[in-house]
Every structure is written in C-alpha cells, then in structure tokens.
C-alpha cells in the first residue's frame, strides 16, 4: 500500500493499517506526466521487500526516485513551501508586488515559474496545510504561515482551482492578472 501525501507522516498512516511493514510513501510531483521525480518515503515499519518493490515501480514508470526520511514535508516540500511562504511574506511586507516577485525568481533563480504562480498552481490551501505540518512538526517559528496566506485561504482565493489567488484567472483572454 502507498500514499501520495506531500507532507503527512508515513509511520502514522501505516499504523492505521493491518500491514505497516507493507506501507510506504510515493510522493509524485505535480503535474505527474511532466515531472520526473518521485520521493520514496519509508515508515519506521516499512520492510526491505516493500521498499525494493516500489523502487522498481518508480523505475518502470521512467521516473527518478529520491529517498527521504519520514520527516515533516519530506525533502521537496520542506524546502519548497517555506520558499513560497517567504515569497508571500515578501508580498505582505510590500517588498515587491506579485509580478516583480515572480519575475525575480524566474529570471534571477532560473525557476520555471515564480513562487506565487507556483503557489496558485499547487493550491493556497494545500500550501497552508503543508506549512501547518511543518510548523506543528518542527516547532520552529520559521515555519509560521504568513498572515496574508491565511487571509487568501479564508477568502476562498485558493489559486487556479478557484479562479483567483495571487493571480486572477477569470478573464476572458485567459491571461492571469496579478491581484496585488
């Protein structure tokens, strides 16, 4: 059995099954058809056979697997979501607007999309949830969600899936327009 969770404890999920030794995390990056990476996360009880079998599945899917310990948000989201949160703080504090923050990271850090555009793609509610897992699991103030992220989620501005987030996607021409 597997889960594609992006941040929840594999050990905790496995404990609710009758075969925790045969349970593991396979975190596929989104969009799955395009992204090559899959994080392989073992729970404390995951056995070697299960791990080897799922490594083989990932290889047969022509994906690259990385191994992460069962720790809050694993590798990718442990690094990515705090960066997104920092971009939201940068917006919240008036350091830059949506367009300048995203352009700075695309052109200055060679990222395919800016962090606010990426947050809209992921879903602001999902980003907030992962920040909550990090904040609760690691008890470090650097994982405190930005108040602006909370406000957007409270407003129902969740990104692409609702038509509005850091960009407004509801225009007739299909061109996203920054909301700040």
pLDDT at 1: 86
Residue 146 pLDDT: 98
Number of neighbours of residue 157 by Cβ within 10 angstroms: 19
Shared domain check, 163 and 133: yes
Nearest Cα to Cα of residue 3 among 123, 85, 20, 124: 20
* CA–CA distance, 8 with 6 (Å, rounded to integer): 6
Q: Based on the domain organization, do 115 and 83 belong to the same domain?
A: yes
Same domain, 137 and 164: yes
Residue 162 and residue 88 share a domain: yes
Output the CA–CA distances (angstroms, integers) from residue 102 to 30, 92, 125, 179, in the order listed.
Answer: 19, 14, 19, 13
Q: Which of 7, 8, 25, 27 is catalytic?
A: 27
Q: What is the CATH number of the domain that holds 125?
A: 1.10.1040.10
Q: Looking at the 3D structure of the chain, how many domains does it have?
A: 2
- Length of the chain as a residue count: 180
- 16 among known catalytic residues: no
What does each of the 180 residues of the chain score in pLDDT, given as a tens digit? 899 988 899 999 999 999 999 999 999 998 899 999 999 999 999 999 999 999 999 999 999 999 999 999 999 999 999 999 999 999 999 999 999 999 999 999 999 999 999 999 999 999 999 999 999 999 999 999 999 999 999 999 999 999 999 999 998 888 999 999
Residues 124 and 61 in one domain: no
| 37 and 89 fall within a common domain | no
- In terms of residue numbers, what domain contains 87? 76-178
One domain for residues 46 and 97: no
- CATH number of the domain enclosing 44: 3.40.50.720
Residues 46 and 106 in one domain: no
Q: What is the pTM of this model?
A: 0.91
Are the C-beta atoms of 21 and 47 separated by less than 8 Å? yes
């Amino acid at each position: 059995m597997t889960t594609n969770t992006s941040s929840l404890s594999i050990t905790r999920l496995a404990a609710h099954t009758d075969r925790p030794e045969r349970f593991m995390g396979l975190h596929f990056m989104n969009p799955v058809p395009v992204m090559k990476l899959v994080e392989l996360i073992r729970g404390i009880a995951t056995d070697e056979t299960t791990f080897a079998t799922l490594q083989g599945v990932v290889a047969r899917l022509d994906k690259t697997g990385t191994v992460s310990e069962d720790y809050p948000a694993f590798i990718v989201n442990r690094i990515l979501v705090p960066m997104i949160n920092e971009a939201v703080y940068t917006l919240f504090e008036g350091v830059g607007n949506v367009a300048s923050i995203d352009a700075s990271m695309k052109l200055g850090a060679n990222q395919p999309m800016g962090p606010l555009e990426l947050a809209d793609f992921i879903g602001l509610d999902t980003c907030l949830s992962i920040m909550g897992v990090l904040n609760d699991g690691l008890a470090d103030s650097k994982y405190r969600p930005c108040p602006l992220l909370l406000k957007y989620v409270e407003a129902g501005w969740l990104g692409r899936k609702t038509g509005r987030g850091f960009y407004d996607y509801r225009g007739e021409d299909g061109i996203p327009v920054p909301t700040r």
